[in-house]
A and B are shown apart, each in its own frame.
Chain A
């Protein structure tokens, strides 16, 4: 699924439609686990998929425009920066966008 392009660390994860609006899905990308969310305004966010608190599945979390809440203990994380707003450690955040053919593209460092 992760067709790495030459250089730059871009990975195409497949159609945006795989992610229902307002929800997240997890992807394995080059050995990393990434949760990609599709906000209600259509924009995308990508953060690491494992909660630093107790290993909860972040892609199963509830989101709004700003944060995702881990389903296990309701720790919240800023979707832009990955920083926790509830005192947990941070998630990693990744640049992500939809390309011309409406595929999710994430950039790994």
Chain B
């Protein structure tokens, strides 16, 4: 358990030139990657400074982190290992303050002076903070609740602030790309959002008023309120944000303000050090600072031929030219500026824009299509039969072609409407084939069609493999379909599916059928035996343990060797862990039928152990929430009821309606059948949970049509069996498997289906995915008609599982492992769940 070994690997006489990079963002890191790709490490000893304390990440993806679609860890482009492997010294969390151009030294805020032979400035930009009253505290810090949207820290600060319970409303200042992304991301935390935009329409840097109006409609349809032509004059609230004041409009109450009103290049170091700065650091066509042979600059902090770019695509082109000169790989290489074509997904809406927003001369042609109800808007400006501008909203199908026509000035079809739509002409695939090799497919990561086709021809023929290698599709994700099409085209249809996607568990490279036969053939009865025999290098894998434990129990029933460490904590202590580390206890209540005696005992237990919440569940049971782990055995003992298995990937419960005994509409004894089914299949493990129901008539009071297995009594003493229904995260009406004459057959077919599902479904694949994947006709053939002759085997296997059932709560008197029910809670419980 020693600390990480030190890694300084500088050889005694390192004669390489010292290359220092100020800035570890997307531009700095991309420049270094391009230099390394040209063999630059042979000539250069590379040192990088970044004032964020991290490796290098994809800033474009911060909106995904904000919305929770992506973990902060998932957006890193280069991990710290990458710097190590490439011999790069990274000073993360260190800010460079000054450059001494004459002594060739860089001074940083940790007191260090670093010599350089070649210097690259890639300081990027920061959020531009408008001059608004009340934005800062008297101490000069942002008022609590005000956030910029630029860094991982900004984003994570916003997420944790938004998740506090009392944060209900947010105002985003700025209705450009970043502001809309912020608004959409905040919504996913349940916060109501107003966007306040000083421009006359949304995204006015990318599109004209007509497109902006269509975009507004789409954005408002998402529940985001939009205020255009609105200038924020003050942030209200002395100690923290309480609202914003607008000019000539009512104040908006809010708890959180995000400032996304443009960016400003970081030029302080350059100014202090006497480098030429106008709107940004001036560079020539070699990305060199004029009159400075060994100082380069790249990215959002530079001004090239009067242009400052705030998009990622120009940065890729600049980095390549810079690397050509730093390494001497191509002294003739020049950067002549970028034609900015952007293709993005903004708040879920596809947006592409390039060149002019609207016609400027009388002779310019303007082709427009607008369908606001679908959020579609397309506008193309044509001059001298060439595209000089285009805006596309809500439909990105023609974007690849238009971008290429714009970039290269291609001749256009006579019939202009075919620029907007595919009119029975060459389809999507021909479109991919026609794309030029240089055409950029992924704008976020600067990946050309050629880079993708080269990768495919190099032998990488899975979509996920190509995406990993080239990073295409790993930015905003809007180009994934196009990436797939290019991969398919390049592979001539021979695209391999990613094998890992088919593994039953990630740590053992086998699909379910192959895994099961290997387990059976080699007699592997424990999770550790499976890892030892089948995992690469015999390595165990935490993520795979639970799935393997479930599979082995299903296969071996009573012969399974139960290793408790392979279980998820719920299955170790037979209760469902809650957000504060306490557990919920749900005793079995078959068919949702209980008795005064049971209810009295539950009430006594709730009193005795100060249960903070007693709740009726959706499965017709009673949930005792907030039980500390150490109390579980005593709670079970006092309840004297078996486990309801409300915590496992297993058969859970059977909901029933009142049934014919009492209900005047009842046609079958649904309650009795529900209890029988629950008694038979209680606790059997499966790839995902199984929730069942039995209804006594087609009024369907037990909601049988939306259950994993649902049974409905119909007139004439017959029973319908539905499978694959869902009414949770997904809604799906179950498919009718069979209509049968007696309850015994219902139980038999339900059991046979569940066994087939246990043997064939992927880990965590609910029946609502499994049934449509396999197909109801196939299932009916196998289960009802026994077309494959396996029905008897399925029934037997299920019977073995039924026979090996023991009530897990019996472990209360005889803990299976030492300290099984010892607390793992910290002394101070965080977070506290409020008790109602």
Contacts and interface: CB of A to CB of B under 8 A. Distances in A.
A35 B580 contact: no
A87 B72 contact: yes
Given A19-B819, A62-B546, A55 B580 contact: yes
A57 B826 contact: yes
A50 B826 contact: yes
A58 interface: yes
B633 to A, nearest CB: 16
Contact of B826 (A17, A33, A69): A33
B824 A49 contact: yes
B540 interface: yes
B572 to A, nearest CB: 8
Given A71-B569, A71-B577, A59 B824 contact: yes
A86 to B, nearest CB: 5
A61 B1 contact: no
Nearest to A80: B1
Contact of B73 (A17, A62, A68, A86): A86
A23 B579 contact: no
B822 A20 contact: no
Given A22-B565, A55-B581, A86-B73, A93 B826 contact: no
A85 B825 CA distance: 23
A25 B579 contact: no
B1 A64 contact: no
Nearest to A15: B818
Given A60-B824, A80-B1, A87 B543 contact: no
Interface in B808-825: 817-820, 822-825
Contacts of B818: 17-20
A104 interface: no
Given A25-B819, A71-B569, A81-B4, A64 B541 contact: yes
Most buried by A among B74, B546, B823, B824: B824
B827 A67 contact: no
Nearest to B541: A64
A82 B370 CA distance: 54
A80 B581 CA distance: 24
Contact of B543 (A20, A35, A45, A69): A69
A63 B564 contact: no
A60 B581 contact: yes
B826 A65 contact: no
B286 interface: no
A93 B546 CA distance: 25
Interface in B1-60: 1, 4
A103 interface: no
Interface in B542-584: 542-543, 545-546, 563-570, 572, 577, 579-581
A95 B3 CA distance: 10
A3 interface: no
Nearest to A26: B824
A80 B820 CA distance: 24
A55 B822 CA distance: 18
A56 B817 CA distance: 22
Interface in A18-68: 18-26, 28, 33, 35, 40, 45, 49-50, 54-65, 67-68
B834 interface: no
A55 B830 contact: yes
B187 interface: no
Contacts of A88: 71, 73
B433 interface: no
B528 interface: yes
A55 B832 CA distance: 10
B831 interface: yes
Contact of A72 (B565, B577, B817, B823): B577
A42 B799 CA distance: 38
A68 B824 contact: no
A23 B564 contact: yes
A20 to B, nearest CB: 4
B830 A87 contact: no
Contacts of B579: 54, 72
A84 interface: yes
Contacts of A59: 824
A20 B820 CA distance: 9
B539 interface: yes
A42 to B, nearest CB: 13
Contact of B542 (A33, A55, A68): A68
A48 to B, nearest CB: 9
Contacts of B4: 81
B829 interface: yes
Contacts of B74: 87
A76 interface: yes
Interface in A67-109: 67-69, 71-72, 74, 76, 80-81, 84-88, 93-96
Contacts of A24: 824
B564 A22 contact: yes
30 contacts: A20-B564, A20-B818, A23-B572, A24-B824, A25-B819, A26-B825, A28-B827, A33-B827, A35-B824, A40-B528, A40-B540, A40-B565, A50-B826, A54-B579, A55-B826, A55-B830, A57-B577, A58-B824, A59-B824, A62-B566, A62-B567, A62-B569, A64-B539, A64-B540, A65-B539, A68-B542, A81-B4, A86-B73, A93-B1, A96-B1
Give the 7 A-B residue pairs with the shortest CB-CB distance, closest first. Answer: A87-B73, A22-B565, A55-B830, A59-B824, A57-B824, A20-B817, A87-B71
Given A64-B539, A93-B1, 18 more contacts: A17-B818, A19-B818, A20-B565, A20-B820, A22-B566, A23-B817, A40-B540, A45-B1, A49-B824, A50-B830, A55-B830, A57-B824, A60-B572, A60-B577, A61-B569, A62-B542, A65-B540, A74-B543
Interface of B: 1, 4, 71-74, 507, 528, 539-543, 545-546, 563-570, 572, 577, 579-581, 817-820, 822-827, 829-831
